[in-house]
């Protein structure tokens, strides 16, 4: 059975639950709820898996701090022999305005410490990314690191549920397309 890995980035603990930096966790929680999955916790990550198709989709929330996200990703990818091309990382993106959601394959990390650690630990930047725009502070008002560790504003919280559902749909689309590519690749071997 082929494996896909969807990683939601965030920081562990209730203190960070509503932070912009934890949007990856929020989106994976919504996806696991939609798929009726329960999280299986270990000391280093929460994992859920969907086996409703020809391939197994693993959902992963690293439970070490953002800067150490690569440990869990590399461990799970190694265990199931999942190449970077079959990994999707759901992340917060300060270079996009709040609510803008974009897909990307590969490229740099733009200073995102979670992405940097994943690239270092898996040895590749050629994974897929779902970039959720969280905006950035006005110049000179606040450090970006402090900004992403703040909760969404009350205005942002009004549209956040719809944006999370839009992100879930994009993940499901990626799983469908990537799964078809996997099946097609298997046929041509």
Residue ranges at the known binding site: 16, 65, 67, 113
- Calculate Rg over the CA atoms of the chain: 16
Q: For residues 141 and 169, what is the distance between their CA atoms, to the nearest angstrom?
A: 35
Q: Residue 69's closest CA among 145, 105, 121?
A: 121
Q: For residues 42 and 147, what is the distance between their CA atoms, to the nearest angstrom?
A: 29
Annotated active-site residue 112? The verdict is: no
Q: For residues 167 and 30, what is the distance between their CA atoms, to the nearest angstrom?
A: 9
Which SS3 state, helix, strand or coil, does residue 19 take?
A: strand
Extract the annotated binding site for tRNA.
16, 65, 67, 113
For residue 57, what are the β-bridge partners? 4, 50
Give me the catalytic one of 21, 58, 112, 128.
Answer: 21
Helices (H), 81-122: 113-122
How far from 171 is each of 8, 34, 156, 163, CA to CA, in Å? 11, 12, 22, 12
For residue 47, what are the β-bridge partners? 40, 60
Active site residues: 21
């Amino acid at each position: 059975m082929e494996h896909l890995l969807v990683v939601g980035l965030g920081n562990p603990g209730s203190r960070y639950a509503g932070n912009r930096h934890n949007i990856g966790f929020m989106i994976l929680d919504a996806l696991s709820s939609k798929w009726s999955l329960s999280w299986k916790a270990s000391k280093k990550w929460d994992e859920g898996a969907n086996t409703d198709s020809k391939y197994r989709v693993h959902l992963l929330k690293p439970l070490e701090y953002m800067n150490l996200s690569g440990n869990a990703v590399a461990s799970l990818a190694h265990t199931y022999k999942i190449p970077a091309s079959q990994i999707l990382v759901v992340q917060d993106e300060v270079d996009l305005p709040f609510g803008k959601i974009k897909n990307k394959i590969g490229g740099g990390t733009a200073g995102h410490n979670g992405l940097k650690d994943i690239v270092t630990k898996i040895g590749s930047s050629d994974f897929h990314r779902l970039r959720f725009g969280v905006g950035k502070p006005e110049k000179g008002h606040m450090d970006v690191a402090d900004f992403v560790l703040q909760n969404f504003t009350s205005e942002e919280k009004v549209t956040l549920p719809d944006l999370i559902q839009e992100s879930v749909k994009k993940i499901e689309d990626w799983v469908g397309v990537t799964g078809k590519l996997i099946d097609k690749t298997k046929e041509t071997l």
